Amino acid sequence: MEINGHTRICGLIGNPVEHTLSPMIHNTLAGLLGHNLVYVPFLVEEGRVPEAVTGADALHLLGLNVTVPYKSEVIQCLQEIDDLAKNIGAVNTLVKTAGGYKGYNTDMEGLYRAMKSEGIRLEGEQIVLLGAGGAARAVAYLCAVKGAEKVYMLNRTISKVQAVAEEVNRTVGREVILPMITEDYVKLPERKYLAIQGTSVGLAPHTEDVVIADKVFYEKIKTGFDLIYNPWETKFMRLVRQQGGDAYNGLKMLLYQGIIAYELWNDVSVSEEQAQIVYEKLKEHFT
């Protein structure tokens, strides 16, 4: 594409940003949709997030994505924040407004779209969620607001998972998140579950790590969804499949969170056909 005086700029702030796939998503979308837009990663050093956001505003950047470790810290720099992002306590997308930036969280809607594209539903489901960190907390909130019947949230530290459960249950007004210590997976009622792996355990290069290794646990899973996408097949996914379940990684979540951000920045709708083109391009990195 030709970069000229009309080119709009979007980007990513975080630390590190060197291995991000977001430029592939957004620059491919810009090409497919014929937009004069470029997307670049920006490394932001610790303590300089306010400067980065102020500078982006001064430079009239159309929008920014925010990655670790700044998804919560950036909130103090915003002119406005979407209700979903406020309830989750994390922002990953900034959209330019007249007075600064409005913050959104497209991660969870991205996960929801990814699951829907694979035929996975949350409504009325009984779910096992591994982890109680930032990502798992957001997933717990998503499951609750989308109508899951019960979410058994397993974590090594019971106080941490209890705090998340209390907060989410209070926010949604019903007792849907049930906190458990990880070792108590043996006490899960006998049935088939949707299991969501919401920790960083198993992320490359530690590809043989897994939160729970016992095949008894995996016999209870009909569908496993791992938020990790590197490696392409995590050990969690492999163990689900060995016991006859279906398993998916988090690459489509990455895809759709990016698509939703792009739609917010440009006030457009990306078709499923266009989304599939970007997905196939992303897959080439892992398969």
Q: Does domain 109-249 have CATH number 3.40.50.720?
A: yes
Give CA torsion, residues 55, 58, 64, 66, to 10 deg. Answer: 30
| Nearest C-alpha neighbor of 141 from the set 119, 171, 118 | 171
- What's the pLDDT tens digit per position in 95-123? 999 999 999 999 999 999 999 999 999 99
Q: Specify the pTM.
A: 0.95
CATH 3.40.50.720 location in the chain: 109-249
Cβ–Cβ under 8 Å, residues 197 and 234: yes
Active site residues: 71
Q: How far apart are CA 177 and CA 108, in angstroms?
A: 17
Whether the CA torsion 112, 36, 51, 97 is positive or negative: it is negative
Domain 8-105+252-283: CATH superfamily, name plus number: Leucine Dehydrogenase, chain A, domain 1 (3.40.50.10860)
* pLDDT beyond 90 at 287: no
- Tens digit of pLDDT for each residue in 115-171? 999 999 999 999 999 999 999 999 999 999 999 999 999 999 999 999 999 999 999
Ranges of CATH 3.40.50.10860 domains, the chain = 8-105+252-283
